[in-house]
Structures are given as structure tokens and as C-alpha cells.
């Protein structure tokens, strides 16, 4: 009987220790957009983000170019291929339920477009302004969301 109790106790504490060592996972979504000063209707898929995009980027219309998502361990690293040859390399540093500390490297056309650190709030989009994508005054931008 004493042996059974000891075995159960070890199993419980072993399971708790394993759970404590298991890495937390965060889901990320990256959305590539193009922003334009031309007056027009924005892509409906961007409707939840349009007020934020207008406030931060100060453009009139927005087009969805592509997206990707990944689930990453904390700490950990992974890539999001977000379209048109653009890639986000996201490195998670820490997360506490209220914030997610990440480093983001945005590359496109074989060159680094941005290297930055962010503190994300779960579910709240971060907007990264990027380079021109045409000679018509359009620019690329990225929406990054961690959950």
C-alpha cells in the first residue's frame, strides 16, 4: 500500500514537473498589405484593421496581398511566408499572458526591410510600415498578431 502511494505521488509530481517544463506556444498571423493614397474601397478582409491602418499609416485604401500563420514555442523562432516573396522571421523571447516579447525580421526581394523588437498584446494587431511596392505611391505594410 505504501509503495502504491509513493508511486502515485511520484507520478503526480513528475507530471507537474513535465508540464512546467513544457514550452508555451503562441500563434502568430502575419498579413501583407499594400497601402495607397488613391481613394477607393479597401479589401473587406482588412475591415477589422482599417481604423488602425488609417490612423497609423495615413493612407486612403488598403489591399490584402497575402498572409501566413504559425504556432511558435516561447522561446523559439519561425517563419511566416506572407506573399510576394516577403517573409517574417519571428523570434519569441518571453510571454506572460499579458504581453509577448518578440523580435521580427522582415525580408523581401532578398534584402532585410526591417529588424525590430516588439511587445505584442495578445489579439491586438501591430502594424509595421514598409517600403514602396510600386512607383504609384503605394507601400507595403505588415499586420502582425500574436494570440
91 prior amide bond cis, ω within 30: no
The domain limits of the chain are: 24-146
- Reading the chain (147 residues) residue by residue, the pLDDT tens digits are 555 554 444 455 544 444 344 569 999 999 999 999 999 899 999 999 999 999 999 999 999 999 999 999 999 999 999 999 999 999 999 999 999 999 999 999 889 999 999 999 999 999 999 999 877 889 999 999 999
Half-sphere exposure of 52 (CA within 13 A, CB side): 15
Question: CB–CB of 144/128 below 8 Å?
Answer: yes
What predicted TM-score, i.e. pTM, was given to this entire model?
A: 0.83
**pLDDT for residue 54:** 92
**pLDDT for residue 133:** 86
Amino acid at each position: 500500500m505504501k509503495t502504491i502511494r509513493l508511486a502515485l505521488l511520484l507520478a503526480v509530481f513528475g507530471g507537474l514537473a513535465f508540464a512546467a517544463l513544457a514550452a508555451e506556444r503562441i500563434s502568430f498571423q502575419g498579413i501583407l498589405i499594400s497601402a495607397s493614397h488613391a481613394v477607393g474601397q479597401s479589401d473587406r478582409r482588412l475591415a477589422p484593421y482599417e481604423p488602425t491602418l488609417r490612423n497609423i499609416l495615413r493612407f486612403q485604401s488598403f489591399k490584402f496581398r497575402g498572409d501566413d500563420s504559425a504556432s511558435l514555442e516561447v522561446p523559439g523562432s519561425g517563419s511566416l511566408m506572407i506573399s510576394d516573396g516577403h517573409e517574417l522571421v519571428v523570434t519569441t523571447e518571453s510571454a506572460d499572458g499579458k504581453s509577448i516579447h518578440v523580435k521580427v525580421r522582415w525580408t523581401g526581394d532578398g534584402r532585410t526591410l526591417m529588424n525590430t523588437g516588439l511587445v505584442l498584446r495578445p489579439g491586438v494587431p501591430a502594424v509595421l510600415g514598409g517600403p514602396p511596392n510600386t512607383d504609384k505611391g503605394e507601400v507595403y505594410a505588415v499586420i502582425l498578431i500574436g494570440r
